[in-house]
């Protein structure tokens, strides 16, 4: 790669791109909603939310000084992130909190980038995060899921034009915002029927000696506020 090519790529990465028409923003939001709401479609699409969920656990574990030993993604859309360190304390609490809050917060951050016209930067950052996560995946299904997801981002980034890239980026962010809301409600329903006894909320309850319902409320608050704020940025209102 010569200097001029590298400079061109850098300029594209840090530069701004034109926002799509409002109808495209609305259409991608509707498309994301059509993926999140129907149970049959959601069962497949939820794998992407699990990637963000477990990635959130892993990233915060590293940031708080824990040793990340591996991440597993399963075909039933569950996942497991294992880290070493004290089984108590602030680092462990923040790591546990990061799972359900990661998808909506990633969506909120993505909405901020799109509102600033940083479409290319968003696509490349997402690809870099997926590549970094792939290094820590410890099972075949998880590796396949992350590779396929990353491949979609690479193909869109390199083989499509600005309009398609913009529509894809908006669809991804809408999906994170909308899809980040549903898991907390699913967890609440499972706990109501006596399931999910070792959920993130229950682990946090044991770590902090506070009710699990309090942590569920936090998950709901983060996801709904992210959807409200991110939606306003995307729609430009």
Tens digit of each residue's pLDDT (9 = 90 or more) over 197-214:
789 999 999 999 999 999
Return the sign of the alpha-carbon dihedral for residues 233, 235, 236, 237.
Answer: negative
- Compute φ and ψ for 67, nearest 5 degrees: -95, 115
pLDDT, residue 111, reads 98
pLDDT band at 16 (very low <50, low <70, confident <90, very high): confident
Question: What value, to the nearest 5°, has the Cα angle with vertex 172 and ends 187 and 188?
Answer: 5
Give me the mean pLDDT over the 48-65 stretch. Answer: 97
Reference 181, options 137, 222, 232; nearest CA is 222
Tens digit of each residue's pLDDT (9 = 90 or more) over 35-46:
999 999 999 999
Q: Is it the case that residue 9 has pLDDT exceeding 80?
A: no
pLDDT band at 10 (very low <50, low <70, confident <90, very high): low
Q: How far from chain centre, in Å, is Cα 210? A: 27
Q: What is the mean pLDDT of the chain?
A: 93
pLDDT, residue 8, reads 62
- Compute φ and ψ for 105, nearest 5 degrees: -70, -35
Q: Is it the case that residue 3 has pLDDT exceeding 70?
A: no
Give me the mean pLDDT over the 52-81 stretch. Answer: 96
pLDDT, residue 192, reads 87
pLDDT band at 237 (very low <50, low <70, confident <90, very high): confident
What residues are paired with 184 via a beta bridge?
Answer: none
**What tokens were used for 74?**
């399963």
**What tokens were used for 106?**
């990633």
Q: Is it the case that residue 145 has pLDDT exceeding 90?
A: yes
Residues above pLDDT 70, as percent of the chain: 94
Cα R_g (the chain), whole angstroms: 18
Return the sign of the alpha-carbon dihedral for residues 204, 205, 210, 211.
Answer: positive
Reference 48, options 118, 140, 148; nearest CA is 148
Reference 203, options 102, 126, 110, 95; nearest CA is 95
- Separation between Cα atoms, residue 64 and residue 191, nearest integer Å: 29
pLDDT, residue 227, reads 98
Q: pLDDT higher for 108 or 191?
A: 108
- Separation between Cα atoms, residue 109 and residue 164, nearest integer Å: 20
What residues are paired with 81 via a beta bridge?
Answer: 71
Give me the mean pLDDT over the 135-154 stretch. Answer: 97
Give me the mean pLDDT over the 54-74 stretch. Answer: 96
pLDDT, residue 12, reads 63
Question: Hey, where are the domains in the chain?
Answer: 19-235
Reference 24, options 149, 174, 225; nearest CA is 174
């Amino acid at each position: 790669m010569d200097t001029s090519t590298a400079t061109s790529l850098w300029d594209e990465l840090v530069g701004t791109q034109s926002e799509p028409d409002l109808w495209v923003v609305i259409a991608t939001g509707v498309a994301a909603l059509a993926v999140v709401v129907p149970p049959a479609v959601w069962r497949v699409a939820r794998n992407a939310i699990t990637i963000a969920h477990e990635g959130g656990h892993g990233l915060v574990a590293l940031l708080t000084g824990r040793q990340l030993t591996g991440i597993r993604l399963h075909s039933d859309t569950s996942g497991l992130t294992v880290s070493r360190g004290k089984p108590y304390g602030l680092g462990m609490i923040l790591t546990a909190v990061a799972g359900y809050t990661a998808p909506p917060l990633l969506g909120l951050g993505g909405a901020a980038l799109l509102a600033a016209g940083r479409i290319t930067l968003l696509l490349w950052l997402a690809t870099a995060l997926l590549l970094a996560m792939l290094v820590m995946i410890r099972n075949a299904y998880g590796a396949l899921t992350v590779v396929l997801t990353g491949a979609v981002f690479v193909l869109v980034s390199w083989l499509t034009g600005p309009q398609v890239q913009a529509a894809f980026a908006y669809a991804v962010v809408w999906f994170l915002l909308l899809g980040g809301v549903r898991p907390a409600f699913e967890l609440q329903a499972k706990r109501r029927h006596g399931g999910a006894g070792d959920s993130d909320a229950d682990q946090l309850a044991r770590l902090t000696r506070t009710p699990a319902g309090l942590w569920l409320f936090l998950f709901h608050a983060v996801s709904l506020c992210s959807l409200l704020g991110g939606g306003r940025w995307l729609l430009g209102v």
